[in-house]
Amino acid sequence: MEGERYTSEIRGSYLLVSRRFGKLRATLRGDAFQVDLIHRHAVTAALFWYPRGNVRAGIEAISATGQKRASVELRYSFAHR
């Protein structure tokens, strides 16, 4: 029995702007994408704080095709900077 094959055409583009202000980094990203014939858009805004060493804290908000989501992050990196 042969399985059915699903194909889809996906296209996407984005514009990212990011700027560091001392220990802060502000980022804004706009996405436009198309799956088959359906066009979608998303906007992401993020603010990250680098207090010292390998620690990073941040907040991110995303709005994509009418849905909104926010996340908070606290990260420790074991890699040396």
**DSSP E strand stretches across the chain:** 10-21, 24-35, 38-49, 55-64, 67-76
Residue at 44 is within a domain:
yes
Residue at 1 is within a domain:
no
Residue at 67 is within a domain:
yes
Structure tokens, 68: 């909104």
> Domains in the chain: how many in total?
1
For 34, which DSSP code?
Answer: E
Residue stretches of the chain with pLDDT short of 50: none
Residue at 62 is within a domain:
yes
**pLDDT on residue 65:** 83
Range of the domain at 60: 10-76
Residue at 20 is within a domain:
yes
The Cα–Cα gap between 60 and 72 comes to 6
